[in-house]
Amino acid sequence: MASEKVALVTGATAGIGLYTALGLARAGMRVIVVGRDPGRTEAAQRFVIERAPGAQVETALADFSRLAAVRALAADFLGRHERLDVLVNNAGLISPDYTESADGYELTIAVNHLAPFLLTNLLLDRLKASAATRIVTVASIAHKGASLDPATMTKPSKWTPLSAYSRSKLANILFTRSLARRLDPTLVTAACLHPGVISTDIGNRAGSLAGFGWRLLRPFLAGPDKGAETSIFLATVADPMPFHGAYVIGKAVAEPDSLARDDRLGEALWQESARLVGL
């Protein structure tokens, strides 16, 4: 029905994204589960439907290491849905080795920042037309201590799995703040969050030493259902205005690193990102 709320969740085949999709389905939204593997995406759809009987759950495929696939995802969604109420930019990775995307960009920044930057911009008119709507981006406390030069971020001179991940999470926060400045919050709000240090597979690929430490620590961490709580909160809270442009931990606005609050850097990042993705 026309009034049914529609949510698109990227990286929704496992971990935090899967439980975010479940939470939004339980909140009565029609949920589009986005993944890159057909089998895992269909399994995620079944997982949500089994735990939220009667839920309307669809699947969509996109490999975020390819900007052409992000464009195809947006076109497919716009062709199928007249409204979009919630966009959750959740997809992310830690690459264990230096790798470049299909477009020739360092893989971590390509998947974790450039792909959601492009997807958000391609869906923005539909979000505005469906107002009042929300954009929720999963950042991380891992941004603390990171540095970012937009001019060299796709071909960094110094690279480790964790430095690349931290740089991409810093980009998520800067992007959210820049996006918020461009939006009328009575139409669309944008927020980002740290989900907590959560037991998911992402840390397994953090390099040999960090990955080993992650596997030792993981049994003692909260599960992905806990990690999804802030994303679900921001997607469903009655009044999202206090969180517009904010970095959120739990259910409260938190202060990110000073570099994440550098709006000149945020604007430089926006302009370079728009150039790189062809907007």
Check if 247 is active-site. no
CA nearest to 228, candidates 51, 54, 70, 72: 51
Pairing of strands 86-89, 247-249: unpaired
Q: Collapse the DSSP code of 204 into the 3-class scheme (helix H, G, I; strand E, B; otherwise coil) and give the result.
A: helix
Which residue type is seen at 85?
D
Residue partners of 243: CB distance under 8 A and separation at least 6: 189, 191, 234, 237, 253
First-to-last CA distance in the chain? 33
Instruction: Please count the other Cβ atoms lying within 10 Å of the Cβ belonging to residue 108.
Output: 29
Q: Of these residues, 19, 98, 105, 165, which one is catalytic? A: 165
Distance CA 31, CA 25 (A): 6
> In Å, how far from its chain's centre is CA 182?
19
Q: At what angle do helices 15-26 and 229-236 cross, to 10 degrees?
A: 40
Residue partners of 159: CB distance under 8 A and separation at least 6: 98, 106
Distance CA 250, CA 35 (A): 26
For 129, list phi and psi in degrees, rounded to 5: -70, -20
**Catalytic residue annotation:** 165
